[in-house]
Amino acid sequence: MKPARRIACLGILAAALGLAGCNHASEGVYQGWVEADLIFVAPDETGRVQTLSVREGDSVNQGAPLFVLDDDLQLADVQQNQATLANARQAFERAQQLLKSGSGTQKAFDEAQAALREAEARLNSSQTRLARRKVFSPVTGTVQQVYYRPGEMVAASRPVLSLLPPGNMKIRFFVPEAELPKFFYGETVRISCDGCADDIKARVSFLAKSVEFTPPVIYSLEERAKLVFLIEARTDTPEKLRVGQPVSVSAVPQEASR
């Protein structure tokens, strides 16, 4: 099974948090959790992990080496294409000389030229495949999880590890329908949790346009209280939070948020 594109709480937990948010709506405090959109780094082709340059929890910069796969097959392909290119170049030069002397034909020259260009393209392709056996970080972030270790075989497009850029962390929480008008895009909210710093703030980055729960028939006053909307917020201090961590979210007065 391929790793999911995001880390989130289980559906049961999400539902429980949503209901908890409804219960605390009168207090202006909403229950949520920290979620992240991970970057999964995978090789282009199947191979065996030869070296691993990072560990879980390491901070890496964009362009930093991550891992290397064995390159025996790719190296052999490069050498073969180099030999093919050498032969194609000789054939082209011979056809060029024959054409100049009048002993050759334009057709033979064109064929030799086309073969030379094809050989050059094949060599360039094989050299690129060889170079891509060394994988570098596409972003600046933190290594979240390593899925394959040195010596293990990894399939093409199968992630070897996952990265978390700071900007990809977000807080998700549910707000009852009656409380939704209090929130707007860009509004500042306060985040609190057990063991967290006291000054964590985030800004609303997403407001759901549809409800998460719809009663079956009639929207009575009692049933309308069960309607909740998903809201997402992003913080400038993601290092103070952990993925999957339950949090409490409360609105910050407009005067304080400016």
Residue 24 has pLDDT above 60, yes or no: no
**3-state DSSP assignment of residue 121:** helix
Percent of the chain with pLDDT strictly greater than 70: 82
- Which residues, including other chains, have CB under 8 Å from residue 69's CB and lie 6 or more apart? 43, 45, 47, 48, 49, 50, 133, 135, 154
pLDDT band at 182 (very low <50, low <70, confident <90, very high): confident
**Domain 72-131, CATH:** 1.10.287.470
pLDDT in tens, 63-108: 999 999 999 999 999 999 999 999 999 999 999 999 999 998 999 9
Residue 154's closest CA among 52, 4, 36, 60?
A: 52
Count, residues in the chain? 258
**Domain 6-36+165-257, CATH:** 2.40.30.170
pLDDT in tens, 150-179: 999 999 999 999 999 988 999 999 888 888
Residue 62 has pLDDT above 90, yes or no: yes
Question: What type of residue is 190?
Answer: R
Q: What average pLDDT does the structure give for the chain?
A: 85
Cα separation, 9 vs 140, in Å, equals 25
pLDDT band at 46 (very low <50, low <70, confident <90, very high): very high
Helix (H) or strand (E) holding 52: strand 47-52
Cα separation, 180 vs 242, in Å, equals 26
pLDDT band at 14 (very low <50, low <70, confident <90, very high): very low
Spell out the domain ranges in the chain: 6-36+165-257, 72-131
Residue 143 has pLDDT above 50, yes or no: yes
pLDDT of res. 219: 44
- Which residues, including other chains, have CB under 8 Å from residue 196's CB and lie 6 or more apart? 240, 241, 247
**3-state DSSP assignment of residue 169:** strand
- Which residues, including other chains, have CB under 8 Å from residue 12's CB and lie 6 or more apart? none
Residue 258 has pLDDT above 90, yes or no: no
Residue 4 has pLDDT above 60, yes or no: no
Cα separation, 9 vs 171, in Å, equals 12
